[in-house]
Amino acid sequence: MTSLAGNVALVTGASSGIGAATAVALAAAGARLVLVARREDRLRDVATAVVAAGGSALVVPADVSDAGQVDAAVRGAAEEFGRLDIVVNNAGLMRMGPALQASLDDWNALLAVNVQGVLNVTHAALPHLVEAAADSPRGVADLVTVSSTAGWVARPGTAVYSLTKFGVNAFSEGIRQEVLGKRVRVGVVGPGTVDTEIGDSLPAEARAALERNTAGMEKLRSEDVADAVVYMVTRPRRVAINHMLVRAAEQTW
């Protein structure tokens, strides 16, 4: 495993779940962390865990759907640490339910976080990644987006959620081809069913449907997805892992 010592990693959606676990895992691999999410109190708890793992952390409260907040967060991180080597687009929102009963506000919220948020972060961070890759001891910088198995398989009740995940997969592939000559690797990790709080905000009916679909399944843990992200960014420069699906062992879709 390539050490991440001296590298700076920015993780969005870092206040809980996959984002928090990824931040701690990157710190354990040697990276300094920039933690981005809306909930500052939760970010400070994660920062404590990062320090316990041997790293250091900068807490930056920001909403990824707001381009101005994202620009300020990325610029502040680069000024604080002098570089930006790894970006993990993890912030995400899940809404489920039949289209005939869906709220247009819910659909727009999915687009704002899952698509516009990824665009905002990538646009702000990409120049810094290119710059860091030019003098990195690893010889490379990394942009990773946490997608979903819903970005490969669409199912009833997840039409717009899948739209957002298929979309960021395609976006990532296009960006990958643009920047590979600049020593920036672009990868997508697609988790299956993970035991996180992302489903807690679902309406009761949708939450019950999700629980029925996953009954008896041993769900992934956030740390399992974090392991995949760390594996991706710690490969030697010659290795680019562009897509990784990580499903719960009993998951069929």
Q: Closest Cα partner for 118 from 77, 165, 81, 183? A: 165
Could you give the percent of the chain with pLDDT greater than 90?
87
**Which long-range contacts link 125-128 to residues 24+ away (Cβ below 8 Å)?**
125/10, 125/74, 125/84, 125/87, 126/175, 126/179, 126/184, 128/74, 128/78, 128/83, 128/84
Would you say residue 152 has pLDDT above 80? yes
Q: Residue 121: helix, strand or coil by DSSP?
A: helix
Q: What separation in angstroms does the CA of 151 have from each of 57, 87, 159, 164, 230?
A: 31, 20, 10, 8, 21
Is 70 exceeded by the pLDDT of residue 23? Answer: yes
CB-count exposure of residue 166 (10 Å: 0-12, 13-18, 19+):
middle
Phi, psi dihedral angles at 87 (to 5 degrees) = -125, 130
With beta carbons less than 8 A apart as the criterion, state whether 60 and 84 touch: no
Domain boundaries, the chain: 8-246
For residues 98-120, give the mean pLDDT: 96
Provide the CATH topology of domain 8-246.
Rossmann fold (3.40.50)
Q: Would you state the structure tokens that stand for residue 208, as one six-digit string? A: 């019950």
Q: What is the pLDDT of residues 203-248, one digit of tens each?
A: 666 556 666 666 777 999 999 999 999 999 999 999 999 999 999 9
Q: What is the CA radius of gyration of the chain?
A: 17
Distance CA 37, CA 58 (A): 12
pLDDT tens for each residue of 159-210: 999 999 999 999 999 999 999 999 999 999 999 999 866 556 666 665 566 6
Identified catalytic residue from 85, 161, 179, 188: 161
Tokens found for residue 204: 């009761």
Contact 115, 160 (CB under 8 A): no
Residue 141: strand pairing partners: 184
Told to judge if 231 belongs to the known catalytic residues of this protein, a careful annotator would answer no
Predicted TM-score of the model (pTM): 0.93
